[in-house]
Structure 1
């Protein structure tokens, strides 16, 4: 764990990164683009600051994944595709630096151009860009990919596509997008869509799940796979982009393999047996007590803690407000009061982990304690009459009691809230005026031992309120199906949030997700105030307005009481084979997509 004074310095640096003075963006081609100001790296940068440009090539890394896969199309709602397929084999016009919020650099595109108001953006392809089969990446491929993803792809692509007024080819290698919305983030998002080979999909239904290997332009190709068991990626020796500064020091392994196991416990056992070479540990307690197996003792396995400077995000038990029993905020607050976090944290983490205080906590984007002030208060004021108590006045999670499983004070507060909402305990059962019991189902993914431990403690506490929920464990495929269709009352929910939130927030919290399947709006929230804050975020002309809008959204989400939050960690815990190495310089986001395996290498 980092010393506290270092953590303080880090928070200051992050604030400075986000809140720096913005500079107007000129309408001229550039090697990169930032939401505000200019990219930190010059056009001729040698490598990303967190990559080792001298890293050796070779070796392999093997990951273990819980569950399975039955599709090789990760861009649609149907089926389950293997993790890593899109990351390793398919590229985008621009690529994200995980050391800078809201900054992209050219990948397939050699340049990006936009006007000061971000009403349009144009990308010019690199002439040397090639798919893995040697064919050139063309503007036709780009335009087909964008339209296909926007109309037939996963819902996550549609929100942005709906804001494109016009897509046109304006040069031999240039494509331009014009927008019909005041949304500064669109210029960046249009550079982040996967580019697929149009010819591969002729005569095929893109929206149908299939096991055809997509042809991409990335550094790896699929070498072998067996549905539900494994997939192996081989580094392409003819990869067109190896010479780019953005890629120097990245994509170092000759082979990346993902093996699939029944659940998380079996995945860990495979790692201890040496069948996989890296394991990401989510339990602080297990990190301290379960990593004494022989390979750790002999030094064959290394324990690494990777610090990060990103928001806490939200993790915990989400309440589905589509179920009438959770529609009342007082009931949701009662459910939060009944959850004795301090005891749960002590039992599972020896009390070591901080609680998630809000969705963007642990960052400058998180809401401040106490009443809203300044621009945040002004943004919320028009919606004051419809916001849950605490949104403007200030909201904080209850304090628990680490010394005993049942916190009587919190349970009394919970009981009072239930009574206000029309629920009382009669004959030992929580029920409404019609005599209907307060019942619901908690859906969990099988093999998630730590989650099951949390729920077991919580269920015992709820019995003191006359509530006995049903707990159902399902396999990964069923869990995805049930959560995609919102067929649950309560479920384990994790949403990682970044320092550059934008349009994706509408997929997370937008009202369309109440009925549209496959969104991240598992709680079923329908909040015009939240949607207004997201619009203010993406339309903000400077960092100060952007931060205010995000803090206002954070208040709406937190005071909405949709999730019973647990803990977050300021470090990622990675155990790995001693032959695996990573750079000394850790990026701003820490262990985040783009860090492992991209920056890692194999060396004796």
Structure 2
């Protein structure tokens, strides 16, 4: 999956790189131990290796116009890879990566900065990337292997902690010559790392060495399709398309990057952002609220036929959105307490009264995909689980092999039986009641805080908080600004948070920094729960070393069972579609990507734009 996912939870550029574990070489040009290929894929042939352009691209799309979107909070940096600062949205448009992914295949990669790759399928302890001689930075200088080396040395020595962890398999980066760079790895068992190193932005060496750690609104020198055009600090960021972009004729880029300008306007809250959309301050919006999707788009411009709504279905797993319990806090250390917290969540009531019955309860970390575990373990899953079961505590052991089912209500607010079950589990965990108050087994009050940064989530949390208070918990909701929130996340300074965990169809090493034991103690990583579980570590390792698609599916399903059975978080809700609303000047191909909205391949209809411009005057 595209690198944009890597940092989704950290800021607008954060998203999680979600990669596969098996590589298939294509179009070999040398018949020897090592082969040179023009694409790498996930256990399948690259469907578009000989295509002139990708199927969801319009090679004749007109260039021009602006894509404008909202962003939340503020920013003080143009570098999302450094350890300090909050990066501006959209910096991914400034840079190229060595390889670029297809949005309709499970991790198939095509040439971008690198025109080809050399490696040995039987010895994956190294890979050589061949830099395209046409690749140029904005200043006209050629992209060289020294730029790649300098970029990765900065990532490994100065980058974010989760980035360093993710790239820890790199032993060294060697410059062979001007256009060939060789990555050496610490192991020959991690096949995923071969492509991992092809997915990060490459910066100019001089810029990296001088400014990588500098907190600045001036971006590092890149080679991408856009350049920074205008910054209104804390309020907006505008990028301008480079008409001389060196890579515009690459297969992956034909019909892509059609907007002359891309702008992000910052708002203090989504409520304010919605009002800004209604009056045309920005023109493209992703709607995450079921209530707003249903009720908020009946305004003058919409009634005039100038607003379009689309629910775009993709094949990616639905993002796990959950109430994450911090196991570093004693109050959540007992699995029975975490079970009680899960039982108290009345999804059916929320879906009926808050969400207009638009959501599904998430019952998998890979919901809505073939990767989700269903029913009881099949024979293959059980064979993987069997040697791991003795390493699990009894409740997790039982839940891992049972059919998974969360507590359900009638949707009328009567969650009595689930709350009775929750109360019993609390008592079994040593919690007790005294003077009408609930206490932990250690005698401390059963009190905790839910940390949020988005005010709209507080409305969703209120029914849950009411149920927790019925059980005797003292629960408060604390809202802080984005910068405070990110800093507290980095330090794991919270009791409970609401977090999302996006997944791709090809999970791999990124699972280790979300659920791995080593990541639990590394500040800046995304193991927000603080999970330390030997069985989970073992399965993640198997997933990373998987030899084929079948093994990837198998180990992911086992991982899914173990994560659910640990009750590390309270699964919330989601939908298989991405809901977008826009002023009706944007167009896209009838065929959209399988795994994304693919906004980079949309364009502006100039005649429709003129109508909207006239309306907004």
Residue 553 to residue 248, structure 1, CA distance change in 2 (3 Å):
same
Q: Which residue of 2 aligns with 1:438?
A: 446
Q: Which residue of 2 aligns with 1:50?
A: 56
The answer on 1:224 being equivalent to 2:227 is no
Q: 2:605 and 2:329 mapped to 1: Cα distance? A: 50
The answer on 1:146 being equivalent to 2:152 is yes
Measured after TM superposition, the shift of residue 392 of structure 1 is: 3.1
Q: Which of 393, 396, 403 is the aligned partner of 2:401?
A: 393
CA contact (8 A) 2:38 2:110 kept: yes
Q: Which of 307, 310, 314 is the aligned partner of 1:301?
A: 307
Q: 2:22 and 2:128 mapped to 1: Cα distance? A: 26
CA contact (8 A) 1:221 1:234 kept: yes
Q: 1:538 and 1:45 mapped to 2: Cα distance? A: 30
CA contact (8 A) 2:104 2:594 kept: yes
Measured after TM superposition, the shift of residue 345 of structure 1 is: 1.3
Measured after TM superposition, the shift of residue 516 of structure 1 is: 1.3
CA contact (8 A) 1:183 1:535 kept: no
CA contact (8 A) 2:370 2:553 kept: yes
Q: Which of 15, 37, 40 is the aligned partner of 1:33?
A: 40
Measured after TM superposition, the shift of residue 422 of structure 1 is: 0.4
Q: Greater shift after overlay, 431-440 or 283-292?
A: 431-440
Q: Which of 343, 350, 354 is the aligned partner of 2:360?
A: 354
Q: What do residues 113-134 of structure 1 show as CA deviations (whole Å, max 9, x unaligned)? A: 2222333221101100001111
Q: 1:585 and 1:312 mapped to 2: Cα distance? A: 21
Q: Secondary structure at the match of 2:513?
A: helix
Q: What do residues 165-208 of structure 1 show as CA deviations (whole Å, max 9, x unaligned)? A: 3422234311122322211111110111210011123344x334
Residue 92 to residue 433, structure 1, CA distance change in 2 (3 Å):
closer
Q: Which of 95, 98, 118 is the aligned partner of 2:100?
A: 95
Q: 1:256 and 1:203 mapped to 2: Cα distance? A: 27
The answer on 1:494 being equivalent to 2:497 is no
RMSD: 2.0
Q: Which residue of 2 aligns with 1:381?
A: 386
Unpaired segments ≥5 residues, structure 1 = 1-17
Measured after TM superposition, the shift of residue 214 of structure 1 is: 1.6
Q: 2:577 and 2:530 mapped to 1: Cα distance? A: 31
The answer on 1:191 being equivalent to 2:191 is no
Q: 2:136 and 2:129 mapped to 1: Cα distance? A: 16
Q: 1:88 and 1:385 mapped to 2: Cα distance? A: 48
Measured after TM superposition, the shift of residue 596 of structure 1 is: 1.7
Q: 1:157 and 1:121 mapped to 2: Cα distance? A: 20
Q: 1:138 and 1:527 mapped to 2: Cα distance? A: 43
Q: Which residue of 2 aligns with 1:481?
A: 487
Residue 300 to residue 425, structure 1, CA distance change in 2 (3 Å):
same
Q: Which residue of 2 aligns with 1:114?
A: 119
Q: Which residue of 2 aligns with 1:180?
A: 186
Q: Which of 578, 596, 599 is the aligned partner of 1:596?
A: 599
Q: Superposition pairs for residues 455-470 of structure 1, below 5 Å?
A: 455-470=461-476
Q: 1:82 and 1:509 mapped to 2: Cα distance? A: 28
Q: 1:66 and 1:343 mapped to 2: Cα distance? A: 29
Measured after TM superposition, the shift of residue 418 of structure 1 is: 0.3
CA contact (8 A) 2:26 2:46 kept: no
Q: 2:255 and 2:191 mapped to 1: Cα distance? A: 32
Residue 390 to residue 22, structure 1, CA distance change in 2 (3 Å):
farther
Q: Greater shift after overlay, 206-215 or 57-66?
A: 206-215
Q: 1:31 and 1:599 mapped to 2: Cα distance? A: 27
CA contact (8 A) 1:342 1:399 kept: no
Q: 1:80 and 1:433 mapped to 2: Cα distance? A: 40
Residue 94 to residue 183, structure 1, CA distance change in 2 (3 Å):
same
Q: 2:43 and 2:195 mapped to 1: Cα distance? A: 11
Q: Which of 285, 290, 309 is the aligned partner of 2:291?
A: 285
Measured after TM superposition, the shift of residue 160 of structure 1 is: 4.0
Q: 1:433 and 1:186 mapped to 2: Cα distance? A: 45
Residue 138 to residue 98, structure 1, CA distance change in 2 (3 Å):
same
Q: 1:383 and 1:432 mapped to 2: Cα distance? A: 30
Q: Which residue of 1 aligns with 2:259?
A: 253
Q: 1:156 and 1:434 mapped to 2: Cα distance? A: 34
TM-score (norm. length: structure 2): 0.90
Q: Superposition pairs for residues 73-84 of structure 1, below 5 Å?
A: 73-84=79-90
Q: What do residues 503-527 of structure 1 show as CA deviations (whole Å, max 9, x unaligned)? A: 1111111223222111111111112
Q: What do residues 401-448 of structure 1 show as CA deviations (whole Å, max 9, x unaligned)? A: 24322400000110110011001222221113554210000011143x
Q: What do residues 272-304 of structure 1 show as CA deviations (whole Å, max 9, x unaligned)? A: 111110111112232111110111111111111
CA contact (8 A) 1:25 1:116 kept: no
Q: What do residues 433-470 of structure 1 show as CA deviations (whole Å, max 9, x unaligned)? A: 554210000011143x1x11221111111121111211
Q: 1:434 and 1:319 mapped to 2: Cα distance? A: 18
TM-score (norm. length: structure 1): 0.92
Q: Secondary structure at the match of 1:389?
A: helix
